[in-house]
Structure formats: structure tokens, C-alpha cells
A and B are shown apart, each in its own frame.
Chain A
Amino acid sequence: MWPKEFDYVRASSVDDAIQQTSDNTDAKILAGGHSLLPAMKLRLSEPGKLVDISRLADLKGISANGTLSIGAMSTHAEIAASADVQQYCASLATACGMVGDHQVRNFGTLGGNIAHADPASDPPTVLVAAGATIHIKRSRGERSVSAEDFFIDLFTTDLEDGEVITRIEVPNLSGHKAAYVKMPHPASRYAIVGVAVILEMDGDTCKSARVAVGGATVSAMRASGAESALSGSSLDDAALNAAASAVQSDISDALMGDVSYPESYRQAMSGVYLKRAVKAALG
């Protein structure tokens, strides 16, 4: 299908993009376009104007200096291949390397991905588990929000009209054990369920754990019950089974399903994949 007719402008700066989208509520920011354009072709989204920010140098680049800073217009392929990301938060590199196919990863951006907030996409789940911070610019200055609070619901974020995501900041998790595992949909490869775990270990004991779930839920979300079940345990079978039960309760109010993979199955799989994520994290 073809999208409805629209205007296209290339923003000259972040402020210009903010200006153009603040003045016109019918305008939408265009990043890599790999979420927005399909939605437009299906007429799920019909903006009158696209403001292209994909070439703004300010929004590009990855740097690691105490924390990891990823420009919003970094592509999935750049993130997946970045030595800094590998070092600070390897499971984010894993997740970005699982998005779509080569074409999508070469063009789609992390900023665009999280602004779109597809519940079955991989990077949001890792960002929530990692405790990432989203930095946002708007006409009256800048603000930041935690990834956990950023993702609100199905395709719904904390982002408002006239705001642009500038960068995503991720803490240095190089000392942690972490993993992201998912069951990909056979046709789309989107996550039927995706689980990210980040474990702070003290010898054989899990000092603290962060767990996030996506795919099975309307948005990427933290699973605090599962975190409690893992924290302080030796991650033995009993602890893993307890965490597998807990994660199913954690997400029970936010489940999502489709004709092939109903909610009940995805809920059950969140437990299975949590266990497998922990095992994968421990190597």
C-alpha cells in the first residue's frame, strides 16, 4: 500500500526539528523510517509532514566515558558493532543485532526505535533492564527520563509533541553478568517474548538482579518480583523456578497476545526464558 501524501523537510538542527514539530502537530519526526514508514503504508499513521533528523551530526556517535552515551541517530548496526557498547552493555549490542534484518539495522536508529515503542522490539527490553536514561530536548530546554518510565503502553511513550530524543545513556555494566534472550516470531522475528537480565554477582551469590520483559507485554517492563527472587540467591534451580513463577505474576496485568501465540503461552514462556536468560548470563 501507499502512504497518504505528505510533505518532507530535512531539519537543519535539533532546534529546527523541535521548532517544526512544535508549530505543526500534524508533523512527525523521521529518523531511520523503518517503523514509521511501514505504519504510514498501512495508514496506521498519516502525518502531513515528516521532519527528517537522520543526518544531524549532533545526534550521532557513541562514546564511553564512565557511562555509555549513544546518540539517538546511531543505527542498530553501529551499536551492535561498537566495542564500547560491547564492553559496557554487551546485551544491548546483542539486542540491536537481532532487530529486523541487515537493511533495517543499517538504517533504523535506536532513537527512532524507542520513540516508536513497539512492544515486541528488542532494544527497549534491554534498556529497561540496564537502567538506561533517555535524554530529551524540547523548546524549553532538556529533560531526562529513565527507560523504565519512558515506555508507558503499546506504542506509547513519555515523549511529547515537539520533543526530540538526543541520546540514550547506559551505565557501565561491564562487571555484571547479563543476557538478552528471545523467542522470535517465525515470520517477523519480533519477540514473542524477550527477557533481559543483569546480575551483580558476589562469588556464587547474586547480589542484585535487574529483569525486564518485552514481547509478551504491552511495553517493555521491569519484573520486580523476579528480581527479588533472584537477588540474594545462589541462582540454583529453586531460585530460578521461584523467579520464573514471579515473572509471570509481574507481567500478568500487561499481557499481549495474537492469533498464534496467545497471552497465556507468552506468560508461561516469560518464565522459561527468564531461566534461560540467567543461564545464558552465567555462561
Chain B
Amino acid sequence: MAIGKSKFRIDAPGKVTGETLYPADIDRENFIHAKVVFSNKPHARMKRMDLSAAEAVTGVLGIFTAADVPVNEYGLTMFDQPVMVGVNATGRSKVPSDVSRWEGDQVAVVVAETPEAAQAAAEKIQIEWEDLPLVHDVWDGLKDDVLVHPEAGTNAFKHYVIRKGAMDDGWAAADVIIEGRYEVPHQEHAYLQPEAAISYVDEMGRITIEIGGQWTHEDQEQVAHALDMPAEDIRIIYPAIGGAFGGREDMSLQIVMALASWKLYQKGETRPIRSQWSREESIIGHHKRHRAVVTTRWGATKDGKITAVEADVYLDAGAYNYTSNKVLGNFHLCVAGPYEIPNARIDSYAIYTTTVPGGAFRGFGAPQGAFAAESQMNKLADALGIDPLELRLMNCLHDESIAITQTPMPAGVSIRQVVEDCASASQWHQPLADAEPFQAFQSLAADKSNIRRGRGIACAYKNVGFSFGFPERCEAKIELYGSVEIERAVLYHSAAEVGQGTHTALRQMTAEALAIDYDKIEMVLSDTAFTGDSGSVSASRMTFMAGNAIKGAAERALEAWQNEDRPAVGQIRFTPRSTDMIDDVTGKGDANISYGYVAEVVELSVDIETGHIHIERVVCADDVGHAINPNLVVGQIEGAIVQAYGYAVTENLRVVDGRILNPRLSTYLIPGIKDIPLQVDSVLVEVPDPQGPWGARGMAEMPFIPLAPAIAAALHDATDVWFDKIPLTPENVIRTLRDNEKTS
């Protein structure tokens, strides 16, 4: 067996020794340098642009703007963003080119002999703007008196509904009704490696971009669309990638670098171009996890059976859709939690504002939904006097359940199992043990009288794979070499290694599928010139989809081997069962292929005078179906919990008048080693997913999802106060405690 073992990561030695090159590390003698210029205008119309002073700077080779883009529109699921904002755009585009709708809109790419010359020229670009009124937040957006995209007719550009059962019956049957309003913040991906890329025209005449991304073939398609060229004329290569978490799904440097290389190539300039964003540019220039507000009401009988759920979700999409319509869909389903809900009314809106776009980020709408749903469950349990663990077991989905979308749940529902396993691993039924009073800082003696301890639970589910009818696919090709015995096998695959360990898992699964030695597997990876479309590393889907594709390709390759083909080649485009867009009127539809399930218990202390939170222990039970590589699974769980801790407690992106006020890591505070939970117990639950390869289930996002509501529940246990807004910064905790003192 090659799977089920904790093989060392194949990318580790190169990364640890520094031998592996990330895009910014690649050094070629003849590099020329590009600088992307941002509009720096949250909402303004460009009246005039004068490049003459910039072009006169010594060393400048070319400056490219909206006027140079053949098809000046971009978007993963809707073309609602110009590649560059500017005047004199002549290419066809569905979106007006002359309006900057966000401070990170790109207005020019400057190419020069040196980075200094590119920077100097960038500063000399003269632009005349007419400021337009800002749309600060969702409430501003809903007024519709200023439209971010007048062509859309409204700022609330996407609306999903759920209409299930009869709400009147649901409320009539309820003995307890809990109302809540929840606010969740933006989150920055803060991956280790800020955006960087190199571009050139390769020996086959293909415009080539080497960059960190999540889906080579989507990058290829977006570049091809904007340049109005066939996809095969564009080549995308992923060198080592320094983290992604959803933040590299949308385009950063891909299109503008391709444009610059193509334009300069036509003028006879063949040197490769290099560009790199600073941390500030990275934080300003790419999307964030969506901030949102949820108002919601849940009813239950005194025996603890949920009778009705209603919710209104307001998602701040920012200036452009990015993947907001898809994130909203997940949010929409997750706001009702992994429970049987007989009666539901849910309305969810994605709303344009003139702020940083929201987009993909680990969890993809589920963490926001779960914060509302799980907080409601904990409040219901408190009001009913029922253990919050028991309340979940009374209501959780099972294999025969009808989903909130009024269709049967895909088989393999394991929410009960993960909740029970989490409870038992965390000794939920034992009294919470004392912990050493924590000493927030070295200079400060622990003061036990101000420390309160608490414990909380939350659980969650989330889809695995593309959803709502978006076409799933994953290609794999395997070549077998040898004569009598298979001496070596080569896997061709595009899965992006963003640090999660996918390449190691691919190799393990290939060895397993072929039943040959792990050491005999070679891989050609993430280069559109050689590898097929894998879909993105997102939606916890790659192990699931790639495993199935590898199994199919291996089967065909082995068949060819039996037929004496040398090399024997097997190739497949795996497609799982299809999904539906949910109905506009009822919300009915088979929206998702499969789900992952997770439960977490948090034990913490809080200093009620300073608001500092100290998490002693997190127990996470995550159903991974079949752990292909247990250590990598544990790594995903621990990493997700650290990232979710930042989301729930420390990270506080401040956006004022359309601008990010803290675009650097000295002021946007991601957790440090001394902040994070002291102990994480990872419980790998293995309930096979009938559709998964060897039963494996998507898992990488799940551990992120329930942490924030579990922390809020533990804080309530500690202080008797509910915390409905994250992040739980010391300031927020103190303010909430004091507000509560005033009202109680």
C-alpha cells in the first residue's frame, strides 16, 4: 500500500535547503523589469492619461494601458472587471474601462531596463480623475443611489433564496426562538510569498507566464480571452508556490505580464520580464475573504428539535464579482448548518461596493455561514438548557436527510460521527480541567482573579468540489515504461502544489493505482504545455478529483500495458456526477457533489480586564474519508486552525473610505507562534466517501470553519456574554463585556 502512509513531502528537501525556486527567486541575466501601477482611487472616472513624462524616463521600454488590451475584460465567472482601467480603450469589453472601482484597479504596466527606472516612470504617469461617490459598505450598496456597475442595474447583483416548508408552521411549533445578528470581517490571505511572475515568448512562440497560481488552465484561459488569442498560444507554468489559500485564484500579474511580453515581442524585444509585488502591493492588490452581516432567527421545540430557520445574508462583494456569486452560494447553504431544517426562508445577497473585492479563501463562504449557524445553535442550547453537543446530535443530518436545498444528501453523511468523536476525544462530558493561569506577557504576572475559563463546541459541513452546476473536471495522464515489468511510470498532472502537499499525495495515489513501487513514479507537473486541465486547487477538491482521475488513467494505462503498448499510455478526463444551480424561486437543487464534515471543541482562558484570549486546546475531528497521507492531513488541520485563529481573534483589516488602512504585517496582525493555540488534537475520522478515491474525502478547508463559533461559545461559557462579531481582538472583547455590563 502506498496510501495511508505518512510519506515525507517530496518538495520538502528543496524548500528546506533553498534549492527550490519560487517565482521571485528565478534569476536570469537578461531580465527586464515590470511595474504594475494601481489606480489608488476607490471610485473615480479617468478623464485623461499622459504617459509622455513617464516614457521619457531613461531605460523605459514600454508602458501598456487599457488602450493596448485587445479584450479589456476579466472575471472568473463574470466579465465585470477591466483588465486595466483607462482611457482610449478600443478592445471589446462588457464593462466600461474608464472607471476605477477600487484602489487596487490596475491602470498601467511599465517595463524598463531596471526596477528603479520602472518605478520612476510609474511615478511620472499623469492621470486626471473625476472622483465619484463611494459605496462604503453593504448598507450603502443596498440603497442603489450610487451604482458601482450601472450596467448591472443594481448593486445587489446576486440573490439566492431558500423557501422550504411553511414558516408559519415552523414558528407555531417553536417553544424557543433565538434571534441573532452576526458580523464577520475581511481576511487577508497573507501567504508567505507576495505575487511575482516572469513572462516571455517561448521557443514555440507561446506567451509564457511563470507564476504562482491555483489553476494553470484557468490562468491560460483568462490570458487568452483578454489577449484575444487561442488558449494554446498561452503557456502557464507554476514554479514553487508560496501559499495560496484561495488568494491566487484570481489574476494578479498574469494578464498584464502576458500583454507586456507580447507587445514588446512584436517590437523585437525578446528578453524575459520580471515583476514582483511588495507586501503592501499584495495586500492592496488582491481580493480578501468577504466581510458580511447575517441577521437570523431560529426556532426549536423544548425537546430541542429545530422547527424553523430564517436568515438574511449580506455579502460585501467589493468592486468586482471575482467568485462572490459562488461564495454566496456556499454561505447560503451553510448559514442553516449541517442540520435537518423542516422550514426555512433564506435570502442571500452579494452586493457591490467600492472596496477591495471579496473572493476565494479557504472555506469559501462556509466560515461566515457557520459563525451564524453555530452561534445560533449554542444560544438555542443555552436557552433550552440542553447540552450543545446533544442538541447537535438531535438535529444533525444523516444519510436519509433532505438537504436545505430540498434534495437528498449525497451518501456518506458523517456529521454525527465527527461530533461524537470530537466529544469523546475532548472529554466533553468531564468537567473542564483547570489550566495554569496564563501570563499574556513576560512583564505581567498572571492575575488569576481576572481569568475566566470556558469550553465551546461547533461543527460544520462544506461542499467538496465545484458546485451549483459549475462544470467539474480533472485530467490525468500516465505513461508506463519497461519491457516485462513496469520499470517506471510518469504521471502528467496540473495540480498546483501550494504547500498543502498535493504532489506527494499524487505520487502515493499513482503508486497505489498502479500497484507499483512509490519510487518508480515520476511526475511532470503544472505546465500547460505538457499537463491537462486539473481544475483548481480549491474547494477541498484536488485529492478527491485527482485521485479519481489517477485511478481512471492507471486503469487505462494498465490495459494498454496488457496490450503490449510500450510505453503504455492511459489518459482520462474525470468528471464526477453533475450538480444543479438552485432554483430562483424555491432554492431547490442538487447543488453539491459531496461534503466534508468536521467538529471542534475549544478550551480557553480569557483575561476579562484586558480582553486577551488564550486557547489551551483545540480538538478537531475531521472526516477525511481515507487519509492518503496522515501527516499531511494533520498538517492541514493544524494549519487551518492557526489561520482560523487569526480570522477569529487577531486579524483586523481596516477599510475606510475604500482604502485599506493597514496593508502591512506590522499593522495587520496575523498570529505569531506565541499567540496560537497551545495544543491541537487532530482526530482523523475515516468514514469513506462513496464517490471518493479509496473513500478519500475533501478535508483541507473543513478545520477552518467551526473554530470561530467554537471560540465564541467558549467565551460565553467563560463570561456569560455572547460575542456576535469577530475578530475577537482585545478591544472587541473588552468593549463587548462592558456593553453587556451596561445593559444587564
**Interface residues in chain A, defined as those with a beta carbon under 8 Å from any beta carbon in chain B:** 94, 98, 180-184, 186-188, 258-262, 264-265, 268-269, 272, 276, 279-280
Contacts and interface: CB of A to CB of B under 8 A. Distances in A.
Nearest to A122: B443
B152 interface: no
B444 interface: yes
Contact of A186 (B444, B610, B672): B672
B562 to A, nearest CB: 61
Nearest to B662: A259
B178 interface: no
Given A186-B675, A259-B654, A260-B731, A276 B667 contact: no
Given A187-B669, A259-B662, A279 B675 contact: no
A182 B445 CA distance: 11
B734 A265 contact: yes
B119 to A, nearest CB: 11
A280 B442 CA distance: 12
Given A184-B441, A276-B445, A262 B667 contact: no
Contact of B652 (A94, A260, A272): A260
A265 B669 CA distance: 17
Given A184-B441, A187-B666, 9 more contacts: A98-B443, A181-B443, A182-B444, A183-B444, A186-B650, A264-B731, A264-B735, A265-B731, A276-B445
B445 A280 contact: yes
Interface residues on B, range: 20 to 34
Contacts of B662: 259-260
B445 A261 contact: no
A265 B737 CA distance: 13
A186 B669 contact: yes
5 contacts: A182-B444, A260-B729, A261-B731, A265-B735, A280-B445
Contact of A182 (B443, B661, B665, B735): B443
A258 B667 contact: yes
B180 interface: no
A268 B672 CA distance: 25
B667 A260 contact: yes
Contact of A181 (B444, B666, B731, B735): B444
A181 B444 CA distance: 6
B610 A279 contact: no
Contacts of A264: 731, 735
Contacts of A182: 441, 443-444
Contact of B667 (A259, A268, A279): A259
B652 A268 contact: no
Contact of A272 (B443, B609, B654, B667): B609
B734 A268 contact: yes
A262 B731 contact: yes
B565 interface: no
Contacts of B445: 276, 279-280
B447 interface: yes
Interface of B: 440-441, 443-445, 447, 609-610, 650, 652, 654, 661-662, 665-667, 669, 672, 675, 729-731, 734-735
A279 B441 CA distance: 15
A183 B610 contact: yes
A276 B443 CA distance: 10
A265 B730 contact: yes
Which 3 residue pairs spanning A and B have beta carbons closest together? Answer: A265-B731, A259-B654, A272-B609
A279 B447 CA distance: 10
A188 B666 contact: yes
Contacts, number: 55
A90 to B, nearest CB: 13
A276 B669 contact: no
Q: Which of B675, B730, B734 has the most CB of A within 10 A?
A: B730
A94 B443 contact: yes
The A interface is mostly helix, strand or loop, or mixed, namely mixed
Nearest to A261: B731
Contacts of B731: 260-262, 264-265
Contacts of B609: 272
B652 A259 contact: yes
Contacts of A276: 444-445, 447
A60 B355 CA distance: 53
Contacts of A258: 667
A94 B666 CA distance: 24
A138 B262 CA distance: 64
B670 to A, nearest CB: 9
Contacts of A261: 730-731
Contacts of A272: 609-610
A94 B442 CA distance: 11
Contacts of B730: 261, 265
Contacts of B672: 186
Contact of B441 (A183, A187, A260): A183
A259 B734 contact: no
Contacts of A186: 650, 669, 672, 675
A125 to B, nearest CB: 12
Nearest to A180: B443
A259 B447 contact: no
Given A265-B731, A269-B610, A187 B665 contact: yes
A262 B443 CA distance: 22
A181 B441 CA distance: 9
A184 B112 CA distance: 43
Contacts of B729: 260
Contacts of A269: 610
A260 B669 contact: yes
Nearest to B669: A186
A261 B650 CA distance: 11
A24 B698 CA distance: 68
A253 B650 CA distance: 28
A187 B731 CA distance: 16
Most buried by B among A180, A181, A259, A261: A259
A180 B441 CA distance: 13
Contacts of A98: 443
B308 to A, nearest CB: 39
A66 B661 CA distance: 50
Contacts of A279: 445, 447
Nearest to A244: B609
Contact of B661 (A94, A183, A184, A259): A259
A187 B668 CA distance: 9
Contacts of B654: 259
Contacts of B440: 183
B737 to A, nearest CB: 11
Contacts of A280: 444-445
A261 B669 CA distance: 11
Contacts of B443: 94, 98, 180-182, 184
B667 A187 contact: yes
A182 B669 CA distance: 19
A279 B435 CA distance: 22
A260 B610 CA distance: 14
Contacts of A187: 665-667, 669
A194 B730 CA distance: 16
A103 B734 CA distance: 35
A116 B97 CA distance: 48
A69 B440 CA distance: 34
Nearest to A94: B443
A180 B442 CA distance: 12
A158 B13 CA distance: 57
B152 to A, nearest CB: 32
Contacts of B610: 183, 269, 272
Contacts of B444: 181-183, 276, 280
A269 B669 CA distance: 19
Contacts of A180: 443
A24 to B, nearest CB: 29
A226 B661 CA distance: 35
Nearest to A266: B731
Give the residue among A184, A186, A279 with the most B Cβ atoms within 10 A: A186
A84 to B, nearest CB: 22
B444, B662, B735 pick with most chain A CB within 10 angstroms: B444
Nearest to B654: A259
